[in-house]
Amino acid sequence: MDITNSTVFIPGATSGIGLALAQRLQAAGSTVVIGGRRQALLDSLAAEHGFGAVQIDVADAASIAAAAATVLDAYPSLDALITMSGIMRNEDLRSSDHMADAIETIQTNLVGTIRLIDAFLPHLLTRPAATVMTVTSGLAFVPLTATPTYNATKAAVHSYTQSLRQQLVGSPVEVLELAPPAVMTDLMGGADFGGMPLDAFADEVIELVASGTDTEILVENVQPLRFAERNGNHQQILEMMAGAGH
């Protein structure tokens, strides 16, 4: 991905990791369009940072279709999609009361990602070079006990991304996967996970993307989770995170 000359759509970029990456991509020279559900916030960020802005709810198929039409009409040179949108909820699996949260998480994190790719991929395949970047999590590889459906959706997106990459071999579309560690954002109401400072994370991500050396974007902090199975300490890390109440 050429971070200096891309036209990028990032649904889920009104705060946190998405907003931090949007700012850095724009500073590097790319044209950035952010997406989110709250029009007033989109308008404010567009005015402050000079982003393009499109309203979108990735849990709603009609909203995705409408947003895609709007983005592609206004930005026919679009050549990158970053599927940033996601939600994370605590769930107690001993009670069926968690089911509404589970369904909403799947609809947003997994189905939303698939629908976004479906909406933009036909256009991206017409570009000389293009990028789809999915966003998973270190928790796709070692789950956080308190957020089981979130973990499962991120593991599913990881697998889906691998299939997508393989199907697109020989096409102009590169498929990247960003797998963040715990990062200090407002996810889950800004709960303190002892996460990585947002600016440090975003800076490291941009360096990795610019280097173009790997299809998985893995900052140093996430590597213990990503490679826990290989390293033989998966169960130890799982129990440690659960015991810490994270």
Q: Are 9 and 33 in contact (CB under 8 A)?
A: yes
Rounded to whole angstroms, how far apart are CA atoms 215 and 217?
A: 6
- First vs last Cα of the chain: how many Å apart? 34
Note if 160 is an active site residue. Answer: no
Contacts for 103 with CB less than 8 Å, ≥ 6 apart: none
Q: Which of the following is catalytic: 150, 151, 193, 201?
A: 150
- Give the active site residues: 150
